[in-house]
Chain A
Amino acid sequence: MLRCRTEPLVQRIYLDHNATTPLHPDVLDVMTKVLREDFGNPSSVHHFGQKAKSVIDQARSAVAALLGGDPSEIVFTSGGTESDNFAIRGVAEALERSGRRHLIATAIEHEAVLNTLKALAKRGWTTTLLPVDQSGVVSPDALRDALTDQTAIVSVMHANNEIGTIQPIAELARLAHDRGALFHTDAVQTAGKIALDVKALGVDLASISAHKFYGPKGVGAIWIRRGLRLLPLMSGGKHERSRRAGTENVAGIAGMGEAATRARGKMADEALRLTALRDRLEDAVLRAVPGTAVNGARAARVANTTNISFDRIEAESLLIALDLEGVAVSTGSACSSGTLEPSHVLKAMGFPAHRTQNSIRFSLGAANTEAEIDRVVAILPTVVEKLRNLTRVPVRA
């Protein structure tokens, strides 16, 4: 095997926190301790089992507190995708015989929701995808029009992963309930970022994922309003009150709990800090790089996210060029090979084809500093200029 090339001296700048966040050192400590010491099976009756069970109970309380729910309403899963699948499939199948076989989501949902709807559509459910306006926000009127007496569940993400816009969840949930439908929100991009209160939002189910708020990958949770019945995805033992079979990922769950506690403690201050950093980046880019615009700027957004389109640029090339300069950013969705596809979110917002392929997402996080933002702003104009001089992207108005 070859020696690895030494990393260049530049410090890399990570601006892709909506994709994932680094593990917080305290979270790692908690997880290491659990892995070392609390190896028991939480289902076991003996001492070792009891210790592991208590680890999970603590984490369950911490996660419930983050969401404003009761610990008994939290089910741990493998992550956001499983939680979304469980919410929608679980409800759809539980209500199948009631005749409610209509599902609603928005056109800008994560693939975990969109493809779950597609899969159910193949099996006979009808589905409706709600449009969004040019800021990426769903209108309550659109939902009102789409709801029928057959609607089983409405799924709307709390904030969008690509552009960060926040949806009027409370109002949408009320509309769904008025027609007897259940309401799920994919809160993966808001948990730990903005105050999240499932009771105030009035939803029935909420999905979250630990690695979006400095917890480990491979663990998430779903909040299920007490009394709600949904069919489990897997059959097996009676774990998680028979809602999610399989021996628990104890260390992961412990990590999620620690991450939830930490996030809750400094959420407000961190949101202010990130808003300032984000605005600094946004303002400077708009000023320093001609032909730029922020997507979804007019709506309320999570503090850490900005999505900027660059005229006459292919996002794919800009992303690579920035990575080679040590700046890690992202576009919306990547396909299986890792290449970029036109953003379905920007498409749904009504942007023309070229703009769905010329936009970059910057998502900030705990470790980012003003100095880093200033360096990105210093690098960007040159990189963009170089690409614009070389690529043959058709110039569009």
Chain B
Amino acid sequence: MPDTRIVVAMSGGVDSSVAAALLAEQGHDVVGLSMQLYDQSGNQSFGSCCTIDDLHDARRVAAAIGIPHYILNLEQRFQDTVVSNFVREYASGRTPLPCAHCNSDLKFSTLLERARGFGADRVATGHYARVETRAGGRILLKRSADTAKDQSYFLFSLTQDQLAAAVFPVGTLLKPAVRREAQRLGLTVADKADSQEICFVPDGDYASFVARQEPAVAHAGPIVNQQGDVLGAHEGIHRFTVGQRKGLGVSGAIPLYVLKIDVDASAVTVGPRAALDQTTLMASGVNWIAVDAPASWTPVAAQIRHRHRAAAGRVRALEHGRAEFEFETPQPAITPGQAVVFYDDDVVVGGGWID
């Protein structure tokens, strides 16, 4: 479909750069948009961030491809959706997944809305995932051809409307092929390193970031074992994630892991690795993509974090957008706040937030 206008969300990285270049080469009317998401004024309130360089990279790539490029200031929107959720989740003893929120609440929400204002019906990104329209009109989200790079996990919350507008040009390619494309197209970002997971905390010190944003979270509490015996103290529940082993400040005869975070008591429960294993989980805010909410048990595989290999089990939908999942074999560290995404082979059946 040449000559339809498509907005490409350009991060300055190799994937979205190649996405833009491929669409332009196919003859689409491509408009590059980059999102300025946090303070670039040099105050560096978010640490030693180099993202201004990424915006410049995006601009240079757009110029090389010969497409118009604009930077949108979405700082407030990013703060109100992604960052505030990130902070709130940590303050609630959960481990957030900001990239998924960014996809559904920013890229395929605010950015898509802006794109429509600019006469574009669709937004392309550099995500490794595929969309496919099934007979009957339902749009499927599928894992990318490069299974090691697959990012469908972060896209589970896209609605049918959002998926209808989504274009993932590199989803059918393997990463080395993407880099080769970048070289062939003469893009300067061909050899650029992949981005880190959470862009707005470039130093990776989530605890300090959360404490800066929400100083109230940084209050002490007990570290207890499964029997409730106090083993030590901690400086705030936002410093912990279920499954975490390092930085507990307590030691036992066997290695100890965070099992549970109790926000009301500000207590962190620790125990042996075996105690991390669980068979069931509950999810809320579930978005069903490939099927209507299944009332009866349905066999699917579930992925409970980005680097988790989806494990077999069964799911059924409950009321109020919730779902219940049972693994065939127990899985370690099912972490509240992360996403659970249900797969049927490489098709995303649906997904939700682990409670």
Which residues of A are in contact with B by a Cβ distance under 8 Å?
1-5, 316-317, 320-321, 323-324, 335-341, 386-387, 390-392
Contact call A341/B113, Cβ cutoff below 8 A: no
Known: A1-B64, A2-B25. A316 touches B73 (CB 8 A): yes
Give Cα distance in the complex from A188 to B36, angstroms: 31
Which residues of B are in contact with A by a Cβ distance under 8 Å?
21, 24-25, 31, 36, 40-42, 52, 55, 59, 64-68, 70-73, 113-114, 116-119, 185-186
Give Cα distance in the complex from A221 to B116, angstroms: 45
Known: A5-B66, A320-B70, A340-B73. A390 touches B117 (CB 8 A): yes
Known: A337-B40, A390-B116. A2 touches B73 (CB 8 A): no
CB distance from B7 to the nearest CB of A (A): 10
Contact call B118/A321, Cβ cutoff below 8 A: yes
List chain B residues, Cβ under 8 A from A4: 66
Query: Which 8 pairs, one residue from A and one from B, show the smallest C-beta to C-beta distance?
Result: A4-B66, A339-B73, A1-B186, A387-B117, A5-B66, A390-B117, A339-B71, A320-B70
Interface of B is mostly: mixed
Q: Name the residue among A3, A336, A337, A391 with the largest chain B CB count within 10 angstroms.
A: A337
List chain A residues, Cβ under 8 A from B21: 2
Contact call B36/A339, Cβ cutoff below 8 A: yes
Give Cα distance in the complex from A104 to B52, angstroms: 33
Residue of A nearest to B120 (CB): A324
Besides A5-B65, A335-B40, A338-B70, 16 other A-B contacts (C-beta < 8 A): A1-B185, A2-B21, A316-B73, A317-B114, A320-B72, A324-B119, A337-B36, A337-B55, A337-B71, A339-B73, A341-B73, A386-B116, A386-B117, A390-B113, A390-B117, A392-B113
Contact call A2/B117, Cβ cutoff below 8 A: no
Give Cα distance in the complex from A173 to B64, angstroms: 50
Q: Name the residue among B31, B71, B116 with the largest chain A CB count within 10 angstroms.
A: B71
Contact call A2/B186, Cβ cutoff below 8 A: yes
List chain B residues, Cβ under 8 A from A2: 21, 24-25, 64-66, 185-186
Give Cα distance in the complex from A339 to B25, angstroms: 27
List chain B residues, Cβ under 8 A from A340: 73
**How many Cβ-Cβ contacts under 8 Å join chain A to chain B?**
69
CB distance from A19 to the nearest CB of B (A): 16
Q: Name the residue among B59, B64, B72 with the largest chain A CB count within 10 angstroms.
A: B72
List chain B residues, Cβ under 8 A from A1: 64, 185-186
List chain A residues, Cβ under 8 A from B66: 2-5
List chain A residues, Cβ under 8 A from B55: 337-338
Q: Name the residue among A338, A391, A392 with the largest chain B CB count within 10 angstroms.
A: A338
List chain A residues, Cβ under 8 A from B64: 1-2
Give Cα distance in the complex from A2 to B26, angstroms: 12
CB distance from B203 to the nearest CB of A (A): 21
List chain B residues, Cβ under 8 A from A338: 55, 59, 70-71
Q: List 30 A-B contacts (CB under 8 A).
A: A1-B185, A1-B186, A2-B21, A2-B25, A2-B66, A2-B186, A3-B66, A5-B24, A5-B66, A316-B72, A316-B73, A317-B118, A323-B68, A323-B70, A335-B40, A335-B41, A336-B40, A337-B36, A337-B52, A337-B71, A338-B71, A339-B72, A340-B73, A386-B117, A386-B119, A387-B117, A390-B114, A390-B117, A391-B117, A392-B113
Give Cα distance in the complex from A232 to B120, angstroms: 53
List chain A residues, Cβ under 8 A from B36: 337, 339
Contact call A324/B72, Cβ cutoff below 8 A: no
CB distance from B235 to the nearest CB of A (A): 36
List chain A residues, Cβ under 8 A from B119: 321, 324, 386
CB distance from A322 to the nearest CB of B (A): 10
Give Cα distance in the complex from A336 to B52, angstroms: 9
Give Cα distance in the complex from A261 to B267, angstroms: 78
Contact call A321/B117, Cβ cutoff below 8 A: yes
Residue of A nearest to B21 (CB): A2
List chain A residues, Cβ under 8 A from B186: 1-2
Residue of A nearest to B119 (CB): A324
Known: A1-B64, A2-B64, A386-B117. A324 touches B41 (CB 8 A): no
CB distance from A82 to the nearest CB of B (A): 21
CB distance from B158 to the nearest CB of A (A): 19
